[in-house]
Structure 1
Amino acid sequence: MYDNVVVSAEWVAGRLDSARIVDVRDAWEFDGIGHVPGAVNVPFAEFRSESGDEGMLPGADTWESLLSAAGIGPDDDIVAYDDTHGVFAARFLVTAELYGHPPDRLHLLDGDFSAWNREHGSTTESSAPAAASYTVDVPDHSPLVDYDTTRAALDDPGAVIVDTREAWEFEEGHLPGAVNLDWRDLVDDDTRGLKPPEELSAVLEGVGVTPDTGVLLYCNTARRISHTYVVLRSLGYNDVGFYEGSLTEWVERGGPLDGSVPDDVLE
């Protein structure tokens, strides 16, 4: 278990000079609405690709260029945020982990930019980050699981396959035996951050996800599972599989479904 996976605004406020703060919103939001002081902007679209290394990952060369341009080094503490309860920021952090950034140096701002703004100041001023040279170091062990591993998990009684999409999407069609856990069920609408730990445990246990189970996550394009993955990691879950291909690959390869998934659902 890593400490400080999900961090408070106060935690971030005390580390503005030491951590690299990454805002993954669009540039017009970063520049026009404002951002956390000292943050750099790496919009979601820039680290999302359909022709990268695996599934939607951008590719190692693209990732190195993005982080170098953002002034991020391979050992920096990174805090990421968005204005959508953290789901896009979580995707940034998972991408960093999959490309070898030390997991104990990856942090999600609890809440989002709106939550930060309630208690802390923002700015529309930005400056070019200091030059950095980022190098990908793909780890020997990764939470990534492929199609074949996911297919085998359908018959594994020790694995819980978790669909993190909305209920209506799940009802349209899902992997056989999967349970539905909408990623937003882990978020408190009032605070915009995570629900308290006891509530999170109740939600997870309600669908059979406990620390002693093997968990395999999927959605449509691996964005929503990023948030759930970060939450589970913050709670000390050690056996979590991240199916990067998710339903997009599953349907393309003819994987079995309970129900059917219309093409437009995967967009």
Structure 2
Amino acid sequence: MKWNSYISVWVVLCLGAGCNQSVKDVGTELPVVTKYLIEADELRAIIDQDSLVLLDLQRPDDFMKGHLPNAINLWRSALNNPSFNYDGMMPEREILETVLQRKGVSADAFLILYDNRGSCEATRLWWVLKHYGHDRMAILNGGTQAWSQVDSLTSVIADRPQGDFKFPEQAIAQTSDNILVADLSDMISQNQVVVLDTRSKEEHEGLTLKQGAQWAGHIPGSIHIDWMEAVDQTSYRFKESAELQKIYNKVLNNDLLAVTYCHSGVRSTHTYFVLTELLGRKNVTNYDGSWVEWTNHFQQELVN
């Protein structure tokens, strides 16, 4: 069953054209998608729209093995802020604009984001773009796995000219969707937040130490819910609302600010997306620095 609570790109285009025009006749004005999700069959119906730009968030070697037609590969390493002593922080606005321009993204582009990891790479870019005021985008529910069910992947590399992508001039970077390490520490000490660890169980329990972190463990008092709990392991699509509500019951029934984190702020955006866009929770923020930043600021003995 598909998510029926969002306005699909296909439906809005159909209504705008009076349902008696072909999609190609509609023009390039694509809508903002309420839940930022699009299904593979819906994307297939509009994939020839000129203003659609597909951003492939797979690793480069996976991209070479197969991707959607005319997609542009944009791996995580290009979305990093070099001004920090540790990797993983979101790039500054101007840096991201330049990256997207070089990838051939135009100012009027409607972006389709996808990956092959249950959408956690796609939600990361979605979160960063939204942070800087861009909302003309949708995530392909199920990524490459879903597309393979309706059409073929390709290994042909698209050639795009330099783009002129810009974030809205009037847009001010949101601050409510991110939290600083010092603020989080203070709020934890005052019991003002519910902290959600979206990493694996092994990482949460301190059995695995990943590159960049100074020690293994978890942020004091954090609840553990692996981000993959929200993904159907057969279709790689988001689970349905009823299932998600059961999974995140502890968070949904808590009025405190919910803070999601992982190792470097990627997987946590998936949970942030689920809570805000699919379950409608308003009081949520993502901790961009996540475990890497936390362990670079605090000693291990501070963990409960």
| TM-score interval, normalised by the smaller of the two chains | 0.7 to 0.9
- Report the CA distance shift for 1:220/1:29 in structure 2 as closer, same or farther (over 3 A): closer
Q: How does 1:69-218 map to 2 (within 5 A)?
A: 69-102=102-135, 105-136=136-167, 139-142=172-175, 143-157=177-191, 159-172=193-206, 173-205=217-249, 207-210=250-253, 212-218=255-261
- Report the CA distance shift for 1:23/1:162 in structure 2 as closer, same or farther (over 3 A): same
What TM-score, normalized by structure 2, do the two folds share?
0.75
Equivalent position of 1:220 in the other structure: 263
Q: Which moved more, 1:131-140 or 1:184-193?
A: 131-140
> Residue deviations 1:22-66, cap 9 Å, x none?
1012333323x2211121111222223453699522333331121
| Max Rg structure | 2
8 Å CA contact retained: 1:5, 1:230 = no
* Residue 258 of structure 1: how far off its partner (Å): 2.7
- Report the CA distance shift for 1:233/1:74 in structure 2 as closer, same or farther (over 3 A): farther
Match of 1:58 among 91, 105, 108: 91
> Residue deviations 1:199-231, cap 9 Å, x none?
0110000x3334854211111211111211122
CA RMSD of aligned residues (A): 2.6
Match of 1:229 among 272, 277, 287: 272
* Residue 116 of structure 1: how far off its partner (Å): 1.4
8 Å CA contact retained: 1:6, 1:234 = no
8 Å CA contact retained: 1:174, 1:257 = no
Q: Which moved more, 1:185-194 or 1:66-75?
A: 66-75
* Residue 242 of structure 1: how far off its partner (Å): 1.4
Equivalent position of 2:75 in the other structure: 43
2:303 alignment partner AA: D
Q: How many residues are matched?
A: 255
Percentage of matched positions with identical amino acids: 25
What TM-score, normalized by structure 1, do the two folds share?
0.85
Q: 2: CA distance between counterparts of 1:81 and 1:186?
A: 16
Larger RCO, structures 1/2 (Cα 8 Å, 6+ apart) = 1
SS of match in other structure, 1:119: coil
1:37 alignment partner AA: P
8 Å CA contact retained: 1:25, 1:83 = yes
* Residue 186 of structure 1: how far off its partner (Å): 0.7
8 Å CA contact retained: 1:24, 1:89 = yes
- Report the CA distance shift for 1:140/1:35 in structure 2 as closer, same or farther (over 3 A): closer
Q: 1: CA distance between counterparts of 2:150 and 2:188?
A: 46
* Residue 238 of structure 1: how far off its partner (Å): 1.8
SS of match in other structure, 2:69: coil
Q: 2: CA distance between counterparts of 1:73 and 1:212?
A: 40
Q: 1: CA distance between counterparts of 2:166 and 2:263?
A: 29
1:86 alignment partner AA: S
Q: 1: CA distance between counterparts of 2:282 and 2:268?
A: 16
Equivalent position of 1:7 in the other structure: 38
